[in-house]
Amino acid sequence: MTRGVSLLAVATVAGVERQGHQMCPSRRPWNAILIPIRVRERAHSKWVPDGECWISSYSVASHGYAQIGWQNKDERHVVLAHRASWELLNGPVPVGHTLDHLCKNRTCVNPVHLRVLTNFENARRTGGLDWPLGVCANGHPDRFLVEDPHRRDKMGNQRIGHRCSKCVSLSRARYLWRKRNSGKPMPFDLLLAREKPQRNGSASRILT
């Protein structure tokens, strides 16, 4: 079985991942921990094929990702297996970035199936959806992003967030239309990207 991959197939763009954790006293960014070469090699070599995916042989945590660990003096470290595999070929993931599965298979450790995204870009791609970078799920360019003062973290504290102003306007227009036209089908210009017929099934329509 050939485990070599083409680095040209690995898409990298500016971006943040919050996945993974470490079991040691200090609190540092998840990818501030340097993964030893031996650990990267283990993650990159221990898998079983599933189509083009490399399914990690390591245990899967409750978040759905395979994990790999090692002992370093008095500290026990645990990181995501796909991160370790990717770093063997590409070096450390920059602090403040995340690895996103293009194949949408969380246990896959094939570096070709991974790309680097900002935390914002990664977080807004929920439910297995994907679309071109630089636009929102409805195809509005990122220049329409504005700060969202209503965002809160899990503790209820205000945090910096962004939302698409075009999508906000679209949502209001859809609400008013439903209120005035109960039971009638939504007009095309008020449809969300996922509601419009797409040739490839993705939300790739660019709206202006």
Mean pLDDT of 160-182: 90
Last residue in a domain, options 96, 123, 150? 123
CATH number at residue 90: 3.90.75
Same domain, 134 and 103: no
- Among 32-36, 78-82, 158-162, name the one with the lowest average pLDDT: 158-162
Residues 99 and 134 in one domain: no
Between 202 and 119, the higher pLDDT residue? 119
Beta bridge partners of 164: 145
Co-location of 119 and 139 in the same domain: no
Q: Is the pLDDT of residue 4 over 60?
A: no
pLDDT category of residue 50 using cuts at 50, 70 and 90: very high
- Beta strand 67-72 with 145-147 is unpaired
Q: pTM, whole model, 2 decimals?
A: 0.65
Give yes or no for residue 36 having a pLDDT over 80.
yes
Per-residue pLDDT at 133: 85
My answer on whether 114 and 182 are in the same domain is: no
Nearest to 55 by CA among 122, 126, 106, 2: 106
pLDDT tier, 163 (very low <50, low <70, confident <90, very high otherwise): confident
pLDDT above 60: residue 15? no
Q: Which residues contact 50 (CB under 8 A, 6 or more apart)?
A: 105, 108
Number of structural domains (the chain) is 2
pLDDT at residue 205 greater than cutoff 80: no
In the listed set 77, 107, 123, which residue is the last one of a domain according to the structure?
A: 123
Shared domain for 207 and 155, answered yes or no, is: yes
Q: Are residues 137 and 92 in the same domain?
A: no
Are 102 and 145 within one domain? no
pLDDT recorded at residue 208: 34
The torsion defined by the Cα of 189, 192, 195 and 197, in degrees rounded to 10, comes to: 60
Domain that holds residue 172: 129-208
